[in-house]
Amino acid sequence: AIPLRHWAQRRDIQFGTAIDMEPLRRESDYRARAGMEFSMLTPANAMKMDALQPARGEFYWSDADELVNFAESHAQRVHGHTLVWHRQVPKWLETGTWSRDELLHLLREHIFTVVGRYRGRVQLWDVVNEALNDDGSRRPSFWQRGIGPDYIEKAFRWAHEADPTAILIYNDYNAEDLGVKSNAVYEMLRDLKAQGVPVHGVGFQMHVTVRQLPNVKDFQANLKRLADLGLELHVTELDVRIPLPATPESLSQQAKDYQKIFDAAMAFPQLRSFSLWGFTDRHSWIPHEFKGYGAGLIWDEHDQPKPAFSALQEAL
């Protein structure tokens, strides 16, 4: 069959997936599919701060390097994930006592070291991930508490300085639909742009539940106002989870849901990438994180293509 990335290329978008390092090393099928079907890879964990800087000033590069090398040898782009997040902050950092100046220094060093190392090789960075609560307020994260609200603009400015060619995005979940959270994302990005902060796009994670998609009209109205700010649009972490056990009906509904999301987003020329949070149900974060749910991706546990695969193939 013709790989999905081929069709994505014809539509002039990147078609991506998150990648786990274990199966990438150990499973030849996983490796082959990752290399063949996608044009962009996002490390699921290998570029998070706890993975990259396990001790102060000591960086662990093996996994991230391997991912970047793999992508380059398959003519793929890399989506760096993520520079600033409230989760997977290293223990040494989270449990320490720091002044605001020390935290600014640590964050700056981290961003310069990581973005600088992959300058020109990571084309898209999630600079800040999940900075807002569902009610639109600022999440009182480690960074927000220690630095204050300006950690966000600082992170973007430093990332841009470290690699002026990289596309820098703000990434979040539950921000697709119109509502208080997406309003807050919109206002934050509007203000950052107005202040000349180098933010180039917005990422929608889209960890959704089958049959419970955001309303297409509202989703598109939201995409429109963000695109009108001059921002690129990216679907960054799509999976469509199903209550287990999956049935023929839920699998076919899931296929429709994948197609619906793709078509809604693809209506915008500003859509630059469309990524899944993994591709095989053998390796998915869903069953670990959402009790009773699973089967969120497009190949099943036995690595057979699901109806959602055919739906995406058609939509692409």
Which residue among the candidates 237, 249, 289, 314 is catalytic per the annotation?
237
- Tokens encoding 80: 């760096």
Chain residue whose CB lies nearest ligand XIL: 285
Q: How far apart are the first and last CA of the chain?
A: 14
Smallest CA-to-CA distance from 199 within 229, 179, 221 is with 229
Q: Which is nearer to ligand XIL, 19 or 188 (CB)?
A: 19
C-alpha 239/C-alpha 278 separation (Å) is 8
Q: Which is nearer to ligand XIL, 38 or 285 (CB)?
A: 285
218-237: which residues touch ligand XIL (CB under 6 A)? 237
Minimum separation from the CB atom of position 278 to ligand XIL (A) = 7
Q: What are phi and psi of 184, to 5 degrees?
A: -65, -40
**Rule CB under 6 A: is residue 205 a binding residue for ligand XIL?**
yes
C-alpha 118/C-alpha 30 separation (Å) is 24
Q: Which is nearer to ligand XIL, 181 or 220 (CB)?
A: 181
Q: Which is nearer to ligand XIL, 46 or 316 (CB)?
A: 46
Minimum separation from the CB atom of position 205 to ligand XIL (A) = 6
Residue in 143, 219, 285, 309 binding ligand XIL, rule: CB under 6 A = 285
124-163: which residues touch ligand XIL (CB under 6 A)? 129
DSSP letter, residue 216: H
- Tokens encoding 107: 């964050």
**Is position 237 annotated as part of the catalytic site?**
yes
Minimum separation from the CB atom of position 209 to ligand XIL (A) = 14
The letter for the amino acid at 113 is T
C-alpha 264/C-alpha 214 separation (Å) is 11
Question: How many residues of this chain bind ligand XIL (CB under 6 A)?
Answer: 6
Taking phi first (over 0 means left), then psi (-120 to 50 degrees means alpha), and beta for anything else, what does residue 225 get?
alpha
**Rule CB under 6 A: is residue 30 a binding residue for ligand XIL?**
no
DSSP letter, residue 280: B
**Rule CB under 6 A: is residue 39 a binding residue for ligand XIL?**
no
**Rule CB under 6 A: is residue 17 a binding residue for ligand XIL?**
no
C-alpha 299/C-alpha 26 separation (Å) is 18
Minimum separation from the CB atom of position 146 to ligand XIL (A) = 21
**Rule CB under 6 A: is residue 45 a binding residue for ligand XIL?**
yes
Minimum separation from the CB atom of position 269 to ligand XIL (A) = 26
Smallest CA-to-CA distance from 127 within 177, 188, 67, 57 is with 188
Contacting positions for ligand XIL (CB under 6 A): 44-45, 129, 205, 237, 285
Q: What are the residue numbers of the active site?
A: 237
